[in-house]
Amino acid sequence: MLSLLHHPNLVNLIGYCADGDQRLLVYEFMPLGSLEDHLHDIPLDKEPLDWNTRMKIAAGAAKGLEYLHDKANPPVIYRDLKSSNILLDEGYHPKLSDFGLRKLGPFGDKTHVSTRVMGTYGYCAPEYAMTGQLTLKSDVYSFGVVFLELITGRKAIDNTRAPGEHNLVAWAQPLLKDSRKFSKMADPLLKGRYPMRGLYQALAVAAMCLQEQAATRPLIGDVVTALKYLASQTYDPIAVAAQNNRVGPSTPRSRDERRGMADGLDSPEDRGRLGSPSTHKNSPDFRKRDARESSTGTALARIETGGGSGRKLGLDELERHESQRDSPVRTGRAGETPRNRDLDRERAAAEAKVWGENWREKKRANAMGSFDGTYE
């Protein structure tokens, strides 16, 4: 049967050796070892896998599984999908290996194959572990565990971790229900070098694969479609850093620079000289437009008092808020939910009012001939 399975994401069977009662299968050589070698217990002098490579490996492994489920005739249930069974060729091209536990079927109108429970603890689907009923969706669950390993860098079972974190799926399930905690699930070795939107989408795919009820898990073909898209959205940390610098610096400007921007862009005379109002998200014009669209007297009062603290937003606080908003992590998180969009809109409204008050104060100071004294 193994000699009949041929796919770019399956390890090729070269032949076999037989000597007395000794039997040996010969597969093609995979120079980069297993996925497990590149995810766990990495030596200090070894570079961890970047985000793009992880998505590429996940998409390739899913394609190999899709071939076994949908293209092979009869279909093949892999039954032992885990990170140590995904081998890596040149360029981190993934291939599934070790088909010793594979099972044929189910055939016809049968929904499952009944068999003795085998596989690796931490990767087995719950219905298979409890009843011995094996389905194609059992492999989808195992794939979800491997994908979660790729995202988090954690082992499926790790008894060296704190209580409650030994089992990867048990640790992840509560976090997968709260999108605000998604960033805590990313592998620390990535050091933030991943697209926040891509992280959300990847965790959503993993969560679907790890559904407790087999019927609610997606088909592997649907998983392949999603992962092909994720793998095509390459993440370039250098380009992202350059874009953030164009949008605005991540470090606060000095007060004089900030006042100069307000005075230069927010006055009617200069606006007419410079042309149409700016649509840049950090510009006062953009903030004022947002203020007109979203603010009411009550909402502005709440924002100005800092959520009921009785303290108005001054320039120091404004600088700190803008520094946080311009950071890559903040930029990635912004706009992910209606709640965040509303908070950003209200913050922009409050900031626009601060700029307006500063400009009016400057005009009054100019009229009195005491501009410098006003800003002491």
271 occurs within a structural domain: yes
Tokens coding 348: 């922009």
Vertex 223: Cα angle to 147 and 177 (nearest 5)? 60
pLDDT at 294: 46
Q: Which of 152, 118, 155, 108 is nearest to 138 (CA)?
A: 118
Based on the domain organization, do 48 and 193 belong to the same domain?
yes
40 occurs within a structural domain: yes
Based on the domain organization, do 264 and 161 belong to the same domain?
no
Based on the domain organization, do 48 and 190 belong to the same domain?
yes
pLDDT at 327: 45
51 occurs within a structural domain: yes
306 occurs within a structural domain: yes
172: containing domain: 2-235
Q: Which of 231, 66, 79 is nearest to 150 (CA)?
A: 231
Last residue of a domain, one of 205, 235, 265: 235
pLDDT at 363: 66
Alpha carbons 287 and 357: distance in angstroms, whole number: 14
pLDDT at 347: 67
Based on the domain organization, do 199 and 261 belong to the same domain?
no
Based on the domain organization, do 199 and 275 belong to the same domain?
no
Alpha carbons 59 and 38: distance in angstroms, whole number: 17
Based on the domain organization, do 195 and 62 belong to the same domain?
yes
Based on the domain organization, do 92 and 161 belong to the same domain?
yes
Based on the domain organization, do 171 and 280 belong to the same domain?
no
pLDDT at 248: 57
Based on the domain organization, do 175 and 259 belong to the same domain?
no
244 occurs within a structural domain: no
The pTM (predicted TM-score) of the whole model is 0.63
Based on the domain organization, do 94 and 193 belong to the same domain?
yes
Q: Tens-of-pLDDT digits for all 376 residues of the chain?
A: 666 788 999 999 888 899 999 988 888 999 999 999 999 989 888 999 999 999 999 999 999 999 999 998 888 888 889 999 999 999 999 999 886 545 455 544 555 454 555 668 889 999 888 887 788 999 999 999 999 999 999 999 999 999 999 999 999 999 999 988 999 999 999 999 999 999 999 999 999 999 999 999 999 999 999 999 999 998 888 877 777 777 655 445 444 544 444 444 444 444 444 444 444 555 555 454 454 444 434 433 333 333 443 333 333 443 444 444 444 444 444 445 656 666 666 666 666 666 666 666 766 666 665 444 444 4
Based on the domain organization, do 48 and 143 belong to the same domain?
yes
pLDDT at 154: 96
246 occurs within a structural domain: no
Last residue of a domain, one of 193, 208, 235: 235
Kindly report each contact of residues 249-255 with a partner whose C-beta sits within 8 Å and lies 24 or more positions away, as own/partner.
Answer: 249/326, 250/323, 250/326, 250/327, 250/328, 251/323, 252/319, 252/320, 252/322, 252/323, 253/319, 255/315, 255/319
201 occurs within a structural domain: yes
Last residue of a domain, one of 211, 235, 259: 235
Query: What is the torsional sign of CA 149, 154, 158, 163?
Result: negative
243 occurs within a structural domain: no
Number of domains composing the chain: 2
The CATH code of the domain that includes 119 is: 1.10.510.10
Q: Catalytic positions, please?
A: 80
Three-state SS sequence of the chain? CHHHCCCCCECCEEEEEEECCEEEEEECCCCCCEHHHHHCCCCCCCCCCCHHHHHHHHHHHHHHHHHHHHHCCCCEECCCCCHHHEEEEHHHEEEECCCCCCEECCCCCCCCEECCCCCCCCCCCHHHHHHCEECHHHHHHHHHHHHHHHHHCCCCECCCCCCCCCEHHHHHHHHHCCHHHHHHHCCHHHCCCCCHHHHHHHHHHHHHHCCCCHHHCCCHHHHHHHHHHHHHCCCCHHHHHHHHHHHCCCCCCCHHHHHHHHHHHHCHHHHHHHCCCCCCCCCHHHHHHHHHHHCCHHHHHHHHCCCCCCCCCCHHHHHHHHHHHHCHHHHHHCCCCHHHHHHHHHHHHHHHHHHHHHHHHHHHHHHHCCHHHHCC
